[in-house]
Amino acid sequence: MDALKARSSATGWLGHIYQETIQPSRCNRIWLAWNKNGDFLMLANRQVAIVTGGSGNIGQSIVHALSDQGYRTAVFDRRPPSRDRSSDEVIYLPGDACREDQVNGAFAQLFDREGRLDLLVNAAGISPKREGSTRARLWDLTLDEWTNVINVNLNGVFLTCKAASEYFRRQRSGHIVNIGSVMGFIGATSATSNRFPYSNSGLHYCASKAAVHNLTKSLARELAEFNIRVNCIAPGGVEGGMFRLQEEQQQSLLRQVPLNSFCQARDIAEVVLFLASDTKSRMITGHTVTVDGGWNMR
């Protein structure tokens, strides 16, 4: 036991014991583990999560938080995740959330391997810039640019929610957490400067995130009869992600944030854990939780 613990000290996982094998891809397991706080965990029927965009800044933090809480976590992304986690903790499923065949294939592969699915987190999203770190204004924005953002930020959410719901409905349980944005509430200019309470996130980005907020409500109504909860998180500026500003711009915006701090990716991950918990958020569905230090307080 001590040898197992030492061998897995880098990740915190001790290992697993097969209690009864039904078939290789569907096993009843008891997992013995320590999280990073040193707490001992014994997890029967380990929960399974899939995170789209799990290789990005916010997505990666969500993957780490879920793994630390005992989830068997899969990353569905065009890019592989970082290698600071063992392959036993994180499964990489390469694919594009805009491609229905790739989405369905990834979900089927995960379910065949693990025999269950408990949580979908949609963290994939883009807000592309043109040369010079600007985004096109209305009169310059092309249909291709618009469609690209809508495909990733909205259509990808629709396709993955649709795929996950097939498994959740069979189980009559499941959780979906979508990542929106405060820009989906207040809109934004596409001009080069950031002016509180707006940013230059782009028209396409803001429209796509507003749609995700409303899609979340609609899905929550649609899936409630199957005991499936659907919620959304709307981050403000998150350090290390899309939110990269010059020092002068950062200080100007920071003065408008009541808590005097920008979000960290871990702040978003903690809310995901809360919304995925059947004990802490059992009666919460159809909500978009704003995580922005009070920036968009209304």
Which amino acids are annotated catalytic? 205
Q: Position 104: which residue type?
A: N
What is the 8-class DSSP label of residue 261?
Answer: S
**Structure tokens given for 71:** 């989830």
Place of tokens 């909500």: 287
Backbone φ, ψ for residue 6 (5° rounding): -65, -40
To 10 degrees, what angle do helices 156-171 and 203-223 make? 20
| Cα angle 134, 184, 154; round to 5 | 85
Distances (CA, A) of 20 to 28, 30, 278: 6, 9, 26
Instruction: Identify the bridge partners of residue 94 per DSSP, sorted by sequence position.
Output: 77
Number of residues that this document lists for the chain: 298
Instruction: Identify the bridge partners of residue 10 per DSSP, sorted by sequence position.
Output: none
**Structure tokens given for 200:** 């230059």
Q: How far apart are CA 248 and CA 176, in angstroms?
A: 37
